[in-house]
């Protein structure tokens, strides 16, 4: 029994050592030997692909409709990240259950970067629940996403100075696209009558959107979906919607719709017929093939859903 045990332990140790060794074999970057990037959310994966093409190969950990607040990394994920050239995550505790993993990798001097580092404190929204903590959903402000894009370009250029010009080109093109997108969103939002510019949704994901585009935002759960809403929270939100006669409330793609559905029933019981205006993409992109499988597609789709819910003629005058 004893010799077998020590052989087993020896094998385990060896296996552990393996995962760190791949990186030193990294050769020059080309489209055939791209930079291996691991991104956490689908938005980040999309961003890195756009900025880094054709010299990156991106693996996203979280697929569409996956909730990053609750996502637990598997053994396979950790190995993937250890073997990657660069790891990029969002930060500000968005990937709430992976914080320890990132800290560990940073201490091992792996190439791990948080996009949240792109921002000055004035860019960020502070959490109303915990002073010193910030709202991590910055990507809904398109201008902030532009800053994140610059950060990605800088990371890639540092790792691969050979193709720095390519990354700069991609960045410029993308920034132009983001500017048009930002303007489009503003136009769409302005179609909503002022008093109905209220976004009621499952959790406090849209704070940055609200600040950037002048929309009042209310979420049922707090900043993280790990919390559970109480009866009073449902009641307050229902009272708010009924009082302000907001025509539509919204569910999110990565969260159970039950909370918002309960709010809807409560509002209806108060005599006001509120609709579920549609599904917003909260913490993840849509499925591939849908109109929301890229960042730009996603924010536009959200804005359109918002408009059709709040500004449609059938809802006016209620």
Rule CB under 8 A: choose which of 288, 291, 316, 318 binds other proteins.
288
| Residue found by looking up tokens 């094998």 in the block | 11
- Provide the token pair at 194: 């002022």
- Report the C-alpha gap between 109 and 60 in whole angstroms: 21
Let me know the angle formed at the C-alpha of 71 by 290 and 258, rounded to the nearest 5 degrees: 65
Q: Is 256 in the site for other proteins (CB under 8 A)?
A: yes
Least distance (Å) between residue 169 CB and other proteins: 29
Q: Is 262 among the residues that bind other proteins (CB under 8 A)?
A: yes
Residues 283, 298 contacting (CB under 8 angstroms): no
The residue within the footprint of other proteins, chosen from 103, 243, 261, 273 (CB under 8 A), is 261
CA 283, chain centre distance (Å) = 4
Binding segment for other proteins (CB under 8 A), chosen from 26-34, 88-96, 106-114, 251-259, is: 251-259
Q: Which of 265, 273, 291, 318 binds other proteins (CB under 8 A)?
A: 265
Crossing angle between the packed helical segments 42-52 and 164-190, to the nearest 10 degrees: 130
Q: How far is the CB of 298 from other proteins (least distance, A)?
A: 14
CB of 67 to other proteins, least distance (A): 7
The tokens describing 254, both together, are: 């990565």
Please report which residue ranges of 191-218 form alpha helices under DSSP H: 207-213
At closest approach, how far in Å is the CB of 129 from other proteins?
9
- Binding-site member from 254, 302, 305, 315 for other proteins (CB under 8 A): 254
287 contacts other proteins (rule: CB under 8 A) = yes
Contact (CB, 8 A) for 85 and 159: yes
- Enumerate residues 217-236 that contact other proteins by CB under 8 A: 225, 227-236
Nearer CB in complex with other proteins: 151/254: 254
Q: How far is the CB of 222 from other proteins (least distance, A)?
A: 8
CB within 8 Å of 120: residues ≥ 6 apart: none
Three-state DSSP at 31 gives coil
Between 48 and 87, how does the x/- string for binding to other proteins read (CB under 8 A)? --------------xxxxxx--xxx-x-------------
Which residues, 6+ apart, have CB-to-CB distance to 123 below 8 Å? 138, 144, 147
Among residues 53, 266, 304, 308, the one that binds other proteins under rule CB under 8 A: 266
Q: Would you tell me how many other CB atoms lie within 10 Å of the CB of residue 176? A: 10
Residues that bind other proteins (CB under 8 A): 62-67, 70-72, 74, 225, 227-236, 238, 252-259, 261-262, 265-266, 268-270, 287-288
């Amino acid at each position: 029994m004893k010799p077998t045990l020590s052989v087993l332990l020896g094998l385990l140790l060896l296996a552990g050592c393996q995962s760190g060794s791949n990186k030193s074999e990294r050769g020059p970057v080309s489209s055939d030997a791209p930079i291996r990037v691991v991104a956490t959310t689908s938005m980040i994966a999309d961003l890195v692909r756009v900025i880094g093409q054709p010299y990156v190969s991106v693996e996203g950990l979280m697929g569409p409709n996956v909730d990053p607040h609750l996502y637990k990394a598997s053994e396979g994920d950790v190995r993937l990240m250890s073997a990657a050239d660069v790891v990029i995550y969002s930060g500000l505790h968005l990937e709430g259950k992976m914080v320890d993993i990132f800290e560990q990798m940073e201490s091992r001097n792996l190439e791990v970067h948080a996009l949240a580092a792109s921002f000055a404190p004035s860019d960020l929204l502070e959490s109303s629940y915990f002073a010193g903590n910030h709202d991590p959903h910055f990507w809904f402000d398109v201008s902030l996403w532009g800053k994140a894009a610059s950060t990605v370009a800088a990371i890639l250029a540092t790792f691969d100075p050979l193709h720095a010009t390519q990354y700069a080109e991609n960045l410029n093109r993308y920034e132009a696209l983001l500017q048009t997108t930002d303007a489009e969103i503003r136009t769409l939002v302005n179609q909503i009558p002022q008093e109905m510019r209220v976004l009621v949704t499952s959790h406090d994901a849209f704070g940055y959107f609200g600040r950037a585009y002048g929309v009042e935002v209310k979420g049922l759960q707090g900043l993280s979906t790990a919390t559970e809403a109480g009866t009073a929270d449902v009641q307050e939100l229902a009272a708010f919607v009924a009082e302000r006669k907001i025509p539509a409330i919204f569910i999110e793609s990565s969260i159970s719709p039950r909370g918002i559905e309960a709010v809807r029933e409560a509002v209806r019981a108060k005599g006001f017929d509120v609709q579920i205006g549609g599904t917003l993409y909260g913490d993840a992109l849509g499925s591939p093939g849908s109109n929301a499988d890229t960042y730009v597609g996603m924010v536009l789709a959200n804005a359109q859903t918002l408009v059709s819910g709040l500004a449609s003629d059938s809802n006016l005058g209620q």
